[in-house]
Structure 1
Amino acid sequence: MSAEPSGVVSDEALSRAQEFIEEEEGAANKLAGWRAVFITACAVAMSAFHLYAAYAIVPTQTLRPLHVAMVLFLTFLLFPVSKAFRHRIMWWDLIAALLSIAVVMWVILGGDDFTDRNTTPNGWDIFFGVTLIVLVLEAMRRTTGWIMPAITSVFVLYALFGAYLPNPWTHKGYEVGRLVGHLYMTLEGIFGVAVDVSSSLIILFTIFGAFLQYSGAGKFYIDFSFSAMGGKPTGAGRTVVLASFLLGGPSGSGVATTVTLGSVAWPMLAKVGYERNAAGGLLAAGGLGAIISPPVLGAAAFLIAEFLKISYLDVLLMACIPTLLFYLALFLMVEIDARKYGMGNTVFEKVDTVWNLTRRYWFHFLSLISIVVFMMWGFSPVLSVFWATVVSAVASFLRPECSLIPYDVFRGRGPFVPKLWNSGFIKAMEGGSIGVLNVAATCAGAGIIVGVVTLTGLGLKFSSIVIDMAHGSLLLTAIYTSLVVWIVGLAVPVTASYIICAVIAAPALIKLGVPDFAAHMFIFYYAVLSEVSPPTALSPFAAAAITGGDPYRTTMQCWKYTVPAFLVPFMFVLDPSGQGLLLMGSTKALAAANWWSIAEVTITAAIGVAALAAGFQGWALKKATPFERGMFLAAGFALVYPTVTADLVGIGLVVAALAMQYLRGRPVAA
């Protein structure tokens, strides 16, 4: 491998990057013939059913089990038991798929009698319940690997054998029948909150994202960013930041955004002088922003709304300022990179002018903001994403090259059915269902964990242990909680990490007076760190595969880009004034909020992020001395603590460090 980056993305690099996407989303079979037609038909039917359920009324007791049945059925047909059996459907896959339907039909056909006997299940209830638990564990293993099923199994064992554990972890223990009754026969376990959100919101957003993808919105967002930002020393980095926001907002997937953007942006970053690991770190950091950026955020954001019983629009409001601070940190890092690495002006071959691109494809921006517009009009989140999907589909017909259904179909040219079957519309409907399988399987598994926690009271036990360790200190409790979330996130995806910690760690912060919305947002942001933390640092590893860099050095570079923004969550749990960063968590409170207080805490947070960026990069007006670097870091940490004294100390240190740099002047030439 040459020392200088070539800036060429090879097929081998893209193949390695695709492996990281498969590691997060599962390695799906690529089928042909009638099997492919059957899978496509099932996936399209699943998307059609959920779009119907969004507009019509389907009872919760029916929707959740049917969603799980569809997810498990497609998972066992699409994801092999091991790579040795890839690209074919084996007899055991068919048996597992049919069992998935059977266990759910037992639930639906059982009616009220089924749920009424959850404390005293009969033999068939126990058989089907145990079968469903095993199927969910296997579905998670096929889509996300061994770690999540192993953790879920530990929780199940805890419920069964808790009586043999020492204090404070002990509980009376539950028999198999009682545990199965809670997890399978009520809406508190597998069919609980996580599956509710997956069946009513997450799948609709994956369908919406697929419609945007197949209508050409993703390509437009990249072209628009390249055209708007190219040609300046910081243009390459700024392009990555802007494109990652536009791409990531609708997708909500960190790895997919990293790979999509990296395959076209790495040559540009190499051209202006980015080193392989630094470029990979920036690409991964941009991809990470997809999980915390409105209007979609990650799947965990829908769970926040459900856990707190607030509207999804409230969650979007809470995410606005932290998202702006995250991208401010990235922009500042890019600006510093241009000076630190001595990047010069480079003229890029523009796809087209910004005006021409906007004039032709303006409707893609309409698709991007339509969800928020519908919610502001008073539509529910479910109906908002439904109508946004309709808007995206209808708007695609404004340009022939974007149309989800080719114009020739309507003109009667050629065979109708084959053209429609191979159209972007069918591919989007198929992609929407397949794209949700790994997340939905994780939600079903997380339902097992949540059910065990509620049944055994583990959440209250854990919160008491954390508070005792912190001796009642809110700062120490927040630090311990962030470490717990981070450690859990090392092993499991963001969605699972949030769900687990929301039920076992959030009560500790809430017990010490932190509002529930601030506690849940704190946990959400630290759960997102799982995307950039080994051994599951999938976004940096995927970026390293594209740039040819070292995976772990790329991960450290990604940490450098993102750490300033990830200290911000401490601001909204340590002091009431810091909650202004979340716009007080609800539209009602926002209407009566002290706007000056919100502006004040936002400005101090921005200065803190800038100070941390300068400290971690070792560069502000010029290269910082070790003493100046320490001053910037100390100022950043002080500004993160939202008190008047800490703010004055932090601002004073920033002013002093900048003055020292200014007074040093330029070095005299020899």
Structure 2
Amino acid sequence: MSEHQAERAQLSADIDAAALQKAEEYIEQEEGAANRLKGWLAVFVTLTAVAMSAFHLYTAYAIVPTQTLRPVHVAFVLFLSFLVFPVAARYRHRVMWWDWVAALLAVAVAFYLVQGGDDLTDRNTSPLPWDIFFGVCLIALVLEAMRRTAGWVMPVICLAFIAYALAGPLLPAPWTHKGYEVGRLVGVMYLTLEGIYGTAVDVSSSLIILFTIFGAFLQYSGAGRFYIDFSFSAMGGKPTGAGRTVVLASFLLGGPSGSGVATTVTLGSVAYPMLAKVGYEKNAAGGLLAAGGLGAIISPPVLGAAAFLIAEFLKISYLDVLLMAVIPTILFYFALFLMVEIDARKYGMGNTTFEKVDTVWNLTRHYWFHFLSLVSIIAFMLWGFSPVLSVFWATVVSFLTSFLRADTALLPRDLFRGGVLRKFSDSGFMKAMEGGSIGVLNVAATCAGAGVIVGVVTLTGLGLKFSTIVIDYAGGSLLLTAIFTSLVVWIVGLAVPVTASYIICAVIAAPALTKLGVPDFAAHMFIFYYAVLSEVSPPTALSPFAAAAITGGDPYKTTLQCWKYTMPAFLVPFMFVLDPSGQGLLLMGSTKALAHANWWSIAEVTLTCALGIAALAAGFQGWALRRATRLERALLIVAGILLAYPGWIADLVGIALVIAVLAIQVLRPLPQPA
């Protein structure tokens, strides 16, 4: 270890252990408080998780019928959830008899469905008593798995939707519908591919888990450590180096993980001492760390789990979703870079620097293959592979390239020199295979629960009712409909994770935008970005709360700082929906449309949006060329909003306001020293 690495390690060690423990608690709020089992139980859970990963890697390459893949996937998820996550905190770190009953019942539910074949599907409108029994058991098991992995909110919402389906005739207009009996509801949820085994579980079983396995392979091959070291090396030694390092490292770490909280904690434990050293106060440092973590959910090549659902809902290629995310992601990190540049001046960081970890050349020369693992996914897609096969082969690439260095090898090079079984069981390969399955449990359980909501919405026509109500309240105005839709998504996101928030709003809120002429892809990306905003909104502001635990700051002040850092980028989604020119930010939604696109229009709207983000960043920070007055801040914020609204008149007024503020600052005399 070099001198500078030792220094950084010592600075990281200075963070109070209690703070890191508190941050881990926020991860548990998102991913569930897992048991730490010992002995044969730990071995059994590990082998089951490895078997789950092996099964899904097999299904990526081989052909497994949908009617088999989805029930088996849910069975694995439920079985492991009941063994890994306790029913209550006082039963943690042990498996009780009721956990075994629930786990085995989950297997029985899947077995009954798979062995029943097409006969079960054919009688979904009039199920038999045993069909109803196993269907009710499945719903109950999914609700309990969600409660254990993500808390009470999502199960309560699912129960509310079930109540809505059962009590249709009793509801007031315009919410009333004919109502459905338990048998009919269970038939849709259990015996068809439109309920629990619907689109969300399809994506979870075919894409999300494979990307989770891929992320685990990168983690245990040392890619995460390399991305942080590379960022410190590339951005260190400059006044803005600490802030830039957080921005770059959050992109590199978050791209393959797709988890905001995990990225925030992983990066924060290393980077916060550097932020403190260059002059960031606790809340500002936490806000920047949380904002960087938030970028993980919107950054290619993985994005968050909701991105896979966008591709499935719209029936488009995942490569098209990645394409749509390119410019918004660049603009998001452009906003963060502007913010840290302003921070350096605002907090007087000009004379404070920190040392690099190592040279970029040395790090790249030794660990270049970690970048290959990232870009290989895109390369395979461009080569014509499906997203499933692309991530499968990218995982294979990550596994094989790990052997280029002994310190990154997922299997020890001396594996066959005695103690083979012990070395294999302790290897990074086994940990990655286990981590891939364990890491997907909370998202997969949420996807299964979301199937209940989607099934009810489809059965009752709730989505069309809701969109009609929203449009009526907005008086047919697209701007007001977009504002109301963003508020609905934001409110839903206050209570549930990003994936669930997107699924719920995609089926109930997206139709309101599409009815007014917004293309499907723009409406769904709009909803996706506002679902992501839930990550920094109390009471589920897990990323800022985790960052505050590390920095020792106030959770709510840290959340406000995070809002400050991310707010400029969150006006961008309005450009997707308010004017056809704004769709250029999404590169027209597909590779086919891009081939016939007006590149000048795309460049124009991108530059206009970038200028608007810069104006908002300066306005929120209170600093442009120098410290801004209240009037200058107000003018910059108005200019930013106008530039984010498509239309040449708004753009001209916004540009004029920016020029006016800059001219005022240039002409204003400097304050005389006391």
Q: Same fold (TM over 0.5)?
A: yes
Q: 1:459, 1:503 within 8 Å by CA — same for their partners in 2? A: yes
Aligned twin of 2:564: 560
The 1-side partners of 2:35 and 2:629 are apart by 55
Whole-Å separation in 1 of the counterparts to 2:12 and 2:142: 45
Mapped pair 1:659 → 2:660: no
1:156 match: 162
Alignment partners' CA distance in 2, 1:88 and 1:136: 21
Shift of 1:231: 1.5
Q: Which residue of 2 aligns with 1:186?
A: 192
- Pairing 1:181-580 to 2, within 5 Å after superposition: 181-409=187-415, 412-580=416-584
Q: 2:30 aligns with which of 24, 30, 39?
A: 24
Is the Cα–Cα contact under 8 Å of residues 266 and 547 in structure 1 kept in the other structure? yes
CA distance in 2, matches of 1:355, 1:491: 45
SS in structure 1 opposite 2:407?
A: helix
Q: Contact conserved, 1:7 with 1:267, CA < 8 A, in 2?
A: no
Q: CA deviation at 1:415?
A: 1.1
Amino acid at match of 1:267: P
Asked whether the 8 Å contact 1:7–1:266 carries over to 2, the reply is: no
1:499 Cα deviation (Å)?
Answer: 0.1
How well do the aligned residues superpose, as a CA RMSD in angstroms? 1.0
Counterpart in the other structure of 1:591: 595
Secondary structure at the counterpart of residue 411 of structure 2: coil
Across the two proteins, how many residue pairs are aligned to each other? 664
SS in 2 for 1:472: coil
Task: Measure the CA separation in 2 of the matches of 1:450 and 1:584.
Answer: 27
Determine helix, strand or coil for the equivalent of 2:167: helix
1:592 shift after superposition: 1.1
Distance in 1 between residues matched to 2:434 and 2:672, nearest whole Å: 65
Q: CA deviation at 1:417?
A: 1.0
Change beyond 3 A, Cα 1:14–1:589:
same
Aligned identity (percent) is 80
- Which amino acid is the alignment partner of residue 536 of structure 1? T
Instruction: Give the structure 1 partner of residue 6 of structure 2.
Output: none
Contact 1:305 / 1:311 at 8 angstroms: preserved in 2? yes
| Code of the aligned partner of 1:611 | A
Counterpart-to-counterpart distance in 2, 1:403 and 1:511? 53
Q: 1:102 aligns with which of 93, 108, 115?
A: 108
Asked whether the 8 Å contact 2:207–2:387 carries over to 1, the reply is yes
Q: Deviations over 1:612-654 (max 9, x none)?
A: 0011111100010111111100000001111010110111110
Are 1:618 and 1:629, in contact at CA under 8 Å, matched by a contact in 2?
yes
The answer on whether the counterparts of 1:21 and 1:255 sit within 8 Å (CA) in structure 2 is yes
| Alignment correspondent of 1:136 | 142
1:210-238, Cα deviation, whole Å (9 max, x unpaired): 00000000000000001111121110000
- Which residue does 1:614 correspond to in 2? 618
Question: What is the rounded CA distance, in whole Å, between the counterparts of 2:118 and 2:228 in structure 1?
Answer: 52
| SS of residue in 1 equivalent to 2:349 | coil
Preserved contact between residue 232 and residue 345 of structure 1 (Cα < 8 Å): no
SS at match of 1:52: helix
Residues 287-318 of structure 1: CA deviation (Å, up to 9, x unaligned): 00000000000000000000000000000000
| Alpha-carbon offset, residue 585 of structure 1 | 0.3
2:102–2:141 CA contact under 8 A, matched in 1: yes
Question: Aligned with 2:358: secondary structure?
Answer: coil
Q: Deviations over 1:236-266 (max 9, x none)?
A: 0000000000000000000000000000000
Mapping of residues 169-180 of structure 1, within 5 Å? 169-180=175-186
Q: Distance in 2 between matches of 1:177 and 1:338?
A: 63
> Does residue 1:582 correspond to 2:586, yes or no?
yes
User: Which residue of 635, 638, 658 maps to 1:634?
Assistant: 638
User: Contact 1:7–1:268 at 8 Å: present in 2 too?
Assistant: no
Whether contact under 8 Å (1:273, 1:343) holds in the other structure is yes
CA distance in 1, matches of 2:38, 2:350: 50
1:103–1:132: 8 Å Cα contact kept in structure 2? yes
Task: Tell me by how many angstroms 1:162 deviates.
Answer: 1.4
Which residue identity is paired with 2:349? Answer: M
- Amino acid corresponding to residue 195 of structure 1 in structure 2: V
Q: Give the whole-Å Cα distance in 2 for the aligned partners of 1:353 and 1:345.
A: 22
**1:390 counterpart letter in structure 2:** V
Distance 2:242 2:650 in 1: 36
Q: Structure 1 residue 665: deviation in Å?
A: 3.6
1:523 offset after TM fit, Å?
0.0
Equivalent pair of 1:195/1:444 in contact (CA under 8 Å): yes
Superposition deviation, residue 6 in structure 1: 11
Q: Distance in 2 between matches of 1:6 and 1:501?
A: 40
Question: 8 Å contact 2:239–2:353 — kept in the other structure?
Answer: no
How many angstroms does 1:7 deviate by?
9.6
Structure 2 unpaired stretches of 5+: 1-10
How far apart are the structure 2 equivalents of 1:456 and 1:91? 39
CA contact (8 A) 1:202 1:299 kept: yes
CA contact (8 A) 2:188 2:194 kept: yes
* CA deviation after TM superposition for structure 1 residue 443, in Å: 0.1
Would you say the 8 A contact 2:510–2:523 is kept in 1?
Answer: yes
Q: Which secondary structure does the structure 2 equivalent of 1:407 belong to?
A: coil
Alpha-carbon contact 2:241-2:353 (below 8 Å) kept:
no
Q: Deviations over 1:562-599 (max 9, x none)?
A: 01000000001000000000000000111111100000
Mapped to 1, the partners of 2:97 and 2:122 lie a distance apart of: 36
Post-superposition CA distance 1:30-74 (Å, at most 9, x none): 001110100000000000000000000001110000000000000
User: TM-score under structure 1 normalisation?
Assistant: 0.98
1:500-552 CA-to-partner distances (Å, cap 9, x unmatched) read: 00000000000000000000000000000110000000000000000000000
Secondary structure in 2 aligned to 1:402?
Answer: coil
Contact 2:237–2:356 (8 Å) recurs in 1: no
Q: Deviations over 1:375-428 (max 9, x none)?
A: 01110000000000000000000000000001111xx32211110111000000
The answer to whether the Cα contact below 8 Å between 2:12 and 2:269 also exists between their aligned partners in 1 is: no
Does 1:121 pair with 2:127?
yes
Whole-angstrom distance in 2 between the partners of 1:541 and 1:7: 20
In the alignment, the residues of structure 2 paired with residue 172 and residue 596 of structure 1 have an alpha-carbon distance, to the nearest angstrom, of 52
- Asked if 1:34 corresponds to 2:25, the answer is no
Post-superposition offset of 1:10: 1.1
Q: Match of 2:414, SS?
A: helix
